[in-house]
A and B are shown apart, each in its own frame.
Chain A
Amino acid sequence: MSEMVIETSNLTRRYGKKVSVNNVNLKVPKGSIYGFLGPNGAGKTTTIRMLLGLIRPTSGHIRIFNQDLSKHRMPILRRIGSLVESPSYYGHLSGYENLDVIARLLKVPSKRIDEVLGIVRLTPAAHQTVKGYSLGMKQRLGIAAALLGNPDLLILDEPTNGLDPAGIHEIRTLIKDMPKQHGITVVVSSHLLSEIDQMATHVGIIDHGHLLFQDSIEKLREQSSPKLFLQVDKPHEAKRLLQDAGFKVSIQGDNLQIPNSDLSVTEEINRQLVQAGISVYRISEQSRSLEDIFLDFVDKEGSL
């Protein structure tokens, strides 16, 4: 097992009676892009706020860079850059001044401000006031701020929330470059699987405070077992027939769907339908998308 940058053990946070984060054991390997995935209100932001020491866990422990966060908050934060939810900015200041505010606190040279502005491609707008920035520019400014202190770990909460496709693409490109060009481990949360799918190497799926899945994205893809789709002339009759024969069948539009595409099963189904006088127009196999898997995970928890 490779070295872990973040490790939490039984991390729990309650708000009154509501348990927002429930016994979460995150494991973020070094050099990965860890996609932290879950519907809105699943506990992503609460978890991230705990990782940054903005709120305290009700119980459980957080280890970052192999140090206990509750005991070594300052040295750990020194190595983390973060962007939490909606962008943080001083609207009356320019992009450059916004970064200067943080650079003074971090005691990094002003040369670094120009560097990070370059990385997020905001150099041309550096001296405009942030009030006039588009949401995408504000979000990029937030990423620039997160990069100021030369972090080893970047924690980005919903960095593409509310952006247009071009903005999303730009942020995604930025994030994908981080481990390669700068050796930075990235934790990025999102409620959109397609987002995570396009950049993450590791995935954690959280819903109702429970971490439902955590592994490499390949492992998640392996779960996308193919399904069988049948197009027939009398779908409802066919469904009844196959159910009587003991198959799990559902109707999707005009198609029958069977969650098993073994050759023998396919052959058996086809034979039974034809023998019963039902015309089979088309039999096809379809792999499940990650989207379906994600919804499966989340569905088990009875949400949506």
Chain B
Amino acid sequence: MNGALVSDWIKMRKTWIKILVILGPFGVISLNAVRYALNYHGIVRPGDDAYNWALLIQNISHLLMPTLMLGIALLASLLSGLEHQGHAWKQLLALPVSRVQLYLSKFIWIAGLLAISATLCAVGTILLGFAFGFTPHVPWAGILEECYYPYLAAYGVIAIQLLLSVLVANQSFAITLGVLGMIISGLSDALSPDGLTHAGHWAPFVPWVYPSLSALTHGAVQHVDFAYVVYGLLAGGLLLALGTGLFARKEVK
């Protein structure tokens, strides 16, 4: 397994992938920084830090969802594209290396890189809050939930994007699905707290809405739902098993 992980690292070391991992959270944080800088008095309620922190979390969360969905599609596509581009699959799969390991390595890298992005996002949220002077009561749990819940809830989407990127050489398919996923993920964002209770009926069957439903903020009130994290991890595990199985049987043209 180590061999596969190191070998994937050598492949991506000199690519955009590393930069993308930083660029995602940087974009989310810096766009919010600009927004607050331009309209500080319209957004911030002086003296009500609990509200200020919650609103900051909400604002960041709204940008984080589409970024996360798109980031997953791009990472999966870039990692698989490396192999498709140079016709490397046939060389790789004729080696005495288990196909399961090769596939898992890609998944672990995507999940690992996104964990870094999620962490950067949490750090950025805190720094941004401090920069705006919301000091006394940092809602640590809220910030961690805002960044890590959607990330964990997105494991199903990671597995779907990886599978499509690996099986279909033409990456426009995977990217198209990624963009569609991003739009679907935003649908639940538009739901009112009332709508949320209704979402309970259909949402468990749509992995793309897990991230936003796992940590949703409305009117500076956080609605955290750990169930969607569990759904995400379950879907991720199942779809990863399915993907590994398909990849292991894949015929190499």
Q: Which residues of A contact B (CB under 8 A)?
A: 49, 52-56, 74-75, 77-78, 80, 82-93, 97, 100-102, 104-107, 142, 145, 149
Contact = CB atoms under 8 A, between A and B. Distances in A.
Interface of B: 3-4, 6-7, 10-11, 14-15, 82, 85-98, 251-252
Given A104-B3, A107-B3, A53 B94 contact: yes
Nearest to B93: A54
| Most central of B10, B11, B82, B86 by chain A CB within 10 Å | B86
B116 to A, nearest CB: 22
Nearest to B5: A104
Contacts of B98: 74
Given A100-B10, A101-B7, A104-B7, A91 B86 contact: yes
Contact of B88 (A49, A74, A78, A90): A90
A88 B91 contact: yes
A239 to B, nearest CB: 50
Given A78-B96, A105-B7, A105-B97, 11 more contacts: A49-B90, A54-B93, A56-B251, A74-B96, A74-B98, A80-B94, A82-B91, A88-B92, A93-B10, A102-B7, A104-B6
Contact of B10 (A49, A53, A97): A97
B96 A106 contact: yes
Given A49-B252, A97-B10, A86 B94 contact: no
A84 B6 CA distance: 24
A10 B11 CA distance: 40
B12 to A, nearest CB: 10
A107 B4 CA distance: 10
A93 B87 contact: no
Contacts of B89: 88
A88 B86 contact: yes
Contacts of B93: 53-54
Contact of B94 (A52, A56, A97, A100): A52
A77 B95 contact: yes
Nearest to A100: B10
A55 B88 contact: no
B95 A93 contact: no
